[in-house]
Amino acid sequence: MSRARGTVAIVGIADTPVGVVPRPGATGLCIDAILGALADAGLPKDAVDGLVTLNPTAEPYTYHAEAIAESLGLAPSWCWSTLTGGSSAIGALQQAVHAIDAGACEVVVIAMADSLRSGLTREAAVAMQASTGHPQFERPYGAPVVAHYALIARAHMHEYGTTPEQFAAVAVATRAHAARNPAAQMRTPIAVDDVLASRPIADPLKLLDCSLVSDGGAALVLTSAVRARDLRRPPVYFLGAGAAVGHEHVSQARSLTTSAAVESGRRAYAAAGAGPREIDFAQLYDCFTPVVLIELEDLGFCAKGEAGAFVAAGHTAPGGRLPVNTHGGLLSHAHSGHPSTLFAITETVRQLRGECGERQLARAELALVHGQGGVLSSHATAIFGRAPR
């Protein structure tokens, strides 16, 4: 649990283009995001004394953060690369906050990018999807990632009576947000019937229940709350975070319908001194539509078994009680793999700054971002605010 409530702020952000971006490749996208975030913060490169990155699938390096620093002509006192799947961005954020609070760094950049759409051959992409699972007890049966999530969907349907229409409502609400975001990869509005009629992938999941495959990257600049007051952008404060791990392999999961988001959320709320009722909007990891229902329940926004009806009633859509994934999420904005939760954080910063134009929320004071890696395996939750509380 991180207890550094309001002592560190995000002062710069940048996203690269997403979708099919064959040039400049994963490394170039990471560098472009860093330069954009520093420009947003109004800081020169030589102000950076901490750098955290994620080693991309398309262009891996043995020492990735050091390689990016070298490419930029930086000599930071701290370089670190992380990889915990979709929870990586929040884990990196926690480490950066600790480094700033400890006085080890003054300005830390977090940057992540990958080129899953244009940087991998078809064979490499299939191999990546098939690599998930225990090598002895899961992989021999040939189930790719989507089949594991289909198993989770079926479990939720069996236990709570959740319907395919309720899963589809997640994709519809997310696309409605993406329709307002000029940067989103998919913006054409869809209806529940469109989701149900899309190509079957792994029963009961259809094509539109599944996240995109994208190129893209993003970056953040963090510094102390004291220094943030003198910079060009309104600071967005990190208020607290929590992490938890339930399992590595889905066959060893204690439950297919309740995840370690229960623990990560509880720790984040305690650190931030806030609860789910105080959250104005949320960015939830939506690799597949059933995951959003489980996260809504496990993070305390709905009772168990009630998230399907909650989403179907429009509460996560634009104008709803709890807008979710206001940029379009992994289902409609972009999914460049492990870096994708960083897009959720940059969107959160924009909402809290009041910079989102047509999609700007009427109330944006307190926000929650949740990431998960593996198959509901590694969870991390962070809370951000316009004020340090």
pLDDT tens profile 285-312 = 999 999 999 999 999 999 999 999 999 9
Q: Is residue 206 one of the residues assigned to a domain?
A: yes
Of 186, 205, 236, at which residue does a domain stop?
A: 236
Residues 79 and 107 occupy one common structural domain: yes
Minimal CA–CA distance to 301: which of 334, 277, 320, 323? 277
Q: Is residue 89 one of the residues assigned to a domain?
A: yes
CATH number where 266 lies: 3.40.47.10
Residues 153 and 282 occupy one common structural domain: yes
Q: Is 364 helix (H, G, I), strand (E, B) or coil?
A: coil
Alpha-carbon distance 355 to 216, whole Å? Answer: 21
Question: For residue 324, which amino acid is it?
Answer: V
Q: Is residue 18 one of the residues assigned to a domain?
A: yes
Q: Is residue 136 one of the residues assigned to a domain?
A: no
Q: Is residue 1 one of the residues assigned to a domain?
A: no
Q: Is residue 137 one of the residues assigned to a domain?
A: no
Residue 263 vs residues 48, 234, 256, 296: alpha-carbon distances, Å: 33, 31, 15, 13
Residues 253 and 307 occupy one common structural domain: yes
Residues 158 and 220 occupy one common structural domain: no
Residues 175 and 106 occupy one common structural domain: no
Q: Is residue 30 one of the residues assigned to a domain?
A: yes
b/e string for 37-57 if b means 16 or more Cβ within 10 A?
bbebbebeeebbbbbbbbbbb
Residues 272 and 294 occupy one common structural domain: yes
Number of alpha helices (DSSP H) and beta strands (DSSP E) in the chain: 12, 11
Residues 249 and 376 occupy one common structural domain: yes
Residues 289 and 377 occupy one common structural domain: yes
Side-chain half-sphere exposure of 263, counting CA atoms within 13 A: 12
Looking at residue 3, its pLDDT comes to: 55
Residues 178 and 227 occupy one common structural domain: no
For the chain, how many structural domains are there in total?
2
Residues 293 and 168 occupy one common structural domain: yes
Side-chain half-sphere exposure of 37, counting CA atoms within 13 A: 34
Alpha-carbon distance 26 to 107, whole Å? Answer: 23
369, burial (CB in 10 Å: exposed 0-12, middle 13-18, buried 19+) = buried
Q: Is residue 130 one of the residues assigned to a domain?
A: no
Residues 148 and 295 occupy one common structural domain: yes
Q: What is the mean pLDDT of each run of 10 residues along the chain (389 residues)?
A: 78 96 93 98 96 92 94 94 90 95 96 91 73 80 88 98 98 98 98 98 97 96 95 95 92 94 98 97 98 98 98 98 98 92 97 97 97 94 93
Residues 197 and 298 occupy one common structural domain: yes
Looking at residue 132, its pLDDT comes to: 76
Q: Are strands 366-373 and 281-284 parallel, antiparallel or unpaired?
A: parallel
Contact 360, 107 (CB under 8 A): no
Look up the domain containing 227 and give its range: 8-120+215-236
